Structure 1
Amino acid sequence: MLELVTGVAQRFVWAPLLHGRNENLTRERPTVRVRTLYVSGSWPWHAPCIEARQTAMVENARAGKESRTAPGLATSHRDLHRLLEDLPAGAYTCDRDGLITYFNQRALELWGRAPKLNDPLDRFCGSFRLFKADGSAIPHDQCWMALALKTDREYNGHEIVIERPDGQRRTALAHANPIHDKSGKVLGAVNMLVDITARKQAEDVLKVTDRSKNEFLAILAHELRNPLAPIRSAVQILQLNGTRGPESQWALSVIDRQVHQMARLIDDLVDIARVSSNRLELRKERVELAAVLRAAVETSAALLETGGQHFALTAPAEPIHLNADPTRLAQAIANLLNNAAKYTPQGGHIRLDAERRGDQAVVTVRDDGIGIPAEMLSCVFEMFTQGEQSRARAPGGLGIGLTLVKRLVELHGGTVTAHSEGPGAGSAFVIRLPISDEAQLTGPGTRGGDVPSAASSLRILIVDDNRDAADGLAILLHSYGSETRTAYDGLEALQLAEEFRPDVVLLDIGMPKADGREVARRLRREPWGARTCVIAVSGWSNETDRARSRDAGFDHHLVKPLDTAELMRLLVPLGEAARKGKS
């Protein structure tokens, strides 16, 4: 037990307690909590760190108002100064007029220069320049010490930036507290400055690292999407041409599935980066859970079919409405289905069940696959986590699918848990979501059907510096009956658009000579360009990229590899309008 006497009428005791008995300190390492007894009579617990000593100093200084009397004031101040000298933080005191009367060695190290004691020029905080966390300057008569004296209030935990004489800046947390005599009169104040410069620098490094990681993932996704676009177009062209032979059909279906799988993995990479940095925005609406389940099953259908498992869906008997982003929620459930398909052998069973329990919707994905070892259950939702058994017996993945599920479910105010009796016993993942019983049900959006012929009246200009991507998309749209032209850089696109006067321009963003945004702006300045539908087709998918496309004059922003059905939903109304205009 450490006991410091700070005056005749007060006592400061800082006692680390373990198992309720101090003698245990000699036998075990003290790794639990710290308890502090103050002269005011309070006896709180603290984390075993600087917090206890910080709080002790502030509390004892404040408690002086109950114990300081005029005869013992000088002695009390000396004792207080001895206490402050041993603190692992900067500390100084002022009298009631703001004149600095004392500072400890840590304060001197923080400031870089000693202020003048009892000097009006150094009132409140010395002659140092002070700034708030946002960079705005703090006048000396508005610093925390000055405010504590003027308002007789405590100012604890405020971030402050101190500029030293050499120009170096240090960041500290200020704890300014008035000191009173027994009658409650303000005698002065004490300010403790906890140097957090190293912590702030570490936070800045983490922010830069996180930003670099996100930028890398965005570039990686962009570069991976570019070659997928012509592959998907080539597959669809061959399918439209009616390629015969079971081997050829099998090869085409394999390529199509693998392109879809690669696109999904790329999307997961980008999404987990967005969620990790709180940049993923949900577009919530009132949706029926059954519709979300159907969308999830549709997304995972190919993987479930090729895996050869027996799949069953049990939808809720009564409609269950949620306030949710239907796309993101379906994505989370589809990821669980994909996970079950990966780790359940052929002939196994996968179930998707949903029901209402009280005010929650409960969605369960259950399988009788390889199961999860007990030691893995606690970390199965952590990024890049895959058990040795999983890697040995199932196709690989990035190890982020379940992490994304957890983040998406939590963004919806829900929880997800994993359950398994161990290896070979299968597994179950349970999502619990709050049910929405208010508001009007938003009707489903109108979706265009598979009516490629409706786009047959359109003149379409495809612009991409990836020639395979441009040519493949042009051939595909031409097979639907559209009149197409291709350009491979921005300037060529502008020249060809002037001659061709397209109804639609499908425009890549990153191109030589003039990028897609510059091309879009220049097209919009033409009299005929105002009526043209300009669609960005890009490997960049962040919301920032979409916003920049809107600002440049694009009508839509699609992500590579193009989903033909999504493109047709945009083109069909344009084709119908073009036909009516010509009739």
Structure 2
Amino acid sequence: MVRLVDDLLEVSRITRGKIELRLEVVDLAETIASAVETSRPLIDAASHELIVSGPRPGVLLEADPVRLSQVLANLLNNAAKFTEDRGTIWLTVRESGPAVQISVRDNGIGISPEKLPHVFELFTQADRSDGRALEGLGIGLSLVQQLVEMHGGTVEARSEGLGSGSEFVVSLPMAERARAAEGEAPPDAASFAQRAEGERRPSGEGDRLSRMTVLVVDDNRDAADSLGALLRTFGATVTVAYDGASALQILHSHGPPDLAFLDIGMPDMNGYDLACQIRERPEYRDLVLIALTGWGCDGDRRRAREAGFDHHVGKPADAAALLALMDSLPPPRPRAVSE
């Protein structure tokens, strides 16, 4: 849980432009050695074989050594977790023109074609066909992508499907190119946040988020708790419920929050029914309702509007999109007090 919260805080800080890279010229071999040392306990615990190929001596990058090591360690950890015991993990370095490619490949469970385009989205988890419990909540790969992009690089996921293993390829400019290209330094965290959000929030918006109260309702406890933890990193005060009846009880006993995220696909009382019941009460007329759903066709959005939802967010939720949405909401208005 401590690691989960740490990763959520990292994603939140990057999304909000609160992390600044400490760039220096680093030896890639030393960075890889640091990452392997970090991941070695997890690799050895599963009796995996790790094969490292390259780099040649003197491959230099302009990078934050701590953050780059974090990227590679996350990829190695991911490979170790999603490969059956006594598997094989390959870390391979290739040079491609002015860039270097770092590949982390495994012979593990692989990624389904449906999941492959979404592996870097926050809270996306891999499929397991063996029934074993998943560790983590799909935060590490989102963190990897954001840190790599802050370094001016890219990361790509590859897999031939379930049972065929996975490969993640990080491409980064070598230091010689970075020094030669004046004015083309890798973007810092703030510029990444500007791309993620479109534009920075005006001053004082963060204070408004810190005063915001939020209700999260989802029968998937992991998803509910992780979304709640993420929203808390934005400064919001969050209450979590795992079914519609509990959500109504919380509303009746504590009063309406500023906004509520309702999962559509809950059993017993789904998100549409819960929204309808909430809208029947006049004291909840100013409560902003946000539908959380994996369904995003026009019919689903229309049904959400008819049920009383103000906004529609796809699952898994994107941290930057959530932050932008919360920033766009008007300040809370005075609420009617029930007699």
- Normalising by structure 1, report the TM-score: 0.30
| Secondary structure in structure 2 of the residue aligned to 1:350 | strand
Instruction: Quickly say closer, same or farther: Cα 1:391–1:275, change in 2 above 3 A.
Output: farther
Alpha-carbon distance change, 390 to 323 in structure 1, aligned in 2, over 3 angstroms: farther
For residues 40 and 3 of structure 2, the distance between their equivalents in structure 1, rounded to whole angstroms, comes to 13
Q: Among residues 255, 273, 284, which one is paired with 2:12 in the alignment?
A: 273
Residue 325 of structure 1 is matched in structure 2 by 64
Aligned to 1:416, which of 155, 176, 190? 155
Stretches of structure 1 that go unaligned for 5 or more consecutive residues are: 1-261, 440-541, 543-583
Query: Which of 55, 59, 74 pairs up with 1:316?
Result: 55
SS of 2:175's partner is coil
Whether the 8 Å contact between 1:354 and 1:362 is mirrored in structure 2 is: yes
Q: Out of 78, 84, 89, which is 1:345 matched to?
A: 84
1:372 has 2:111 as partner: yes
Deviation at residue 279 of structure 1 after TM alignment: 1.2
Q: The residue matched to 1:421 in structure 2 has which SS?
A: coil
CA contact (8 A) 1:371 1:425 kept: yes
Percent identity between the aligned chains? 49
* Superposed CA RMSD: 2.0
CA distances 1:493-540 after superposition (whole Å, capped 9, x unpaired): xxxxxxxxxxxxxxxxxxxxxxxxxxxxxxxxxxxxxxxxxxxxxxxx
1:435 corresponds to which residue?
174
Task: Kindly name which structure, 1 or 2, has the bigger radius of gyration based on alpha carbons.
Answer: 1
- The counterpart of 2:36, out of the listed 289, 297, 300, is 297
Instruction: Write the distance in 2 (CA, Å) between the matches of 1:388 and 1:313.
Output: 27
Specify whether residues 410 and 391 from structure 1 end up closer, same or farther in structure 2 by C-alpha distance, changes over 3 A only.
Answer: farther
Pairwise CA distance, 1:270: 1.1
What code does the residue aligned with 1:399 have? G
Question: Which residue is 2:271 aligned to?
Answer: none
Work out the CA distance in 1 between the residues paired with 2:132 and 2:165.
Answer: 14
Secondary structure of 1:375's counterpart equals coil
Shift of 1:394: 5.0
CA distance in 1, matches of 2:158, 2:104: 10
Residue by residue over 1:474-499, the C-alpha shift from the partner in whole angstroms, topping out at 9 and shown as x without a partner, is xxxxxxxxxxxxxxxxxxxxxxxxxx
CA shift in 2, pair 1:332/1:263, >3 Å: same
Name the aligned partner's letter for residue 172 of structure 2. L
**Following TM superposition, by how much is the alpha carbon of 1:391 offset from its aligned partner in structure 2, in angstroms?**
9.0
The number of residue pairs the alignment matches comes to 180
1:403 and 2:122 are equivalent in the alignment? no
> How many angstroms apart in 1 are the aligned matches of 2:39 and 2:129?
20
CA deviation profile, 1:299-328 (whole Å, cap 9, x unmatched) = 111111101111111121232111100000
Q: Is the 2:29–2:57 contact (alpha carbons within 8 Å) kept by the matching residues of 1?
A: no
Deviations 1:60-112 (A, max 9, x none): xxxxxxxxxxxxxxxxxxxxxxxxxxxxxxxxxxxxxxxxxxxxxxxxxxxxx
SS at match of 1:274: helix
Matched residue SS, 2:4 = helix
How does the TM-score come out when normalised to structure 2?
Answer: 0.51
Q: Which residue of 2 aligns with 1:88?
A: none
How far, CA to CA, are the matches of 1:344 and 1:420 in structure 2? 13
Contact kept in structure 2, 1:320 and 1:356, CA below 8 Å: no
Match of 1:531 in 2: none
- Tell me the SS of whatever aligns to 1:374: coil
Gaps of 5+ in 2: 180-232, 234-339
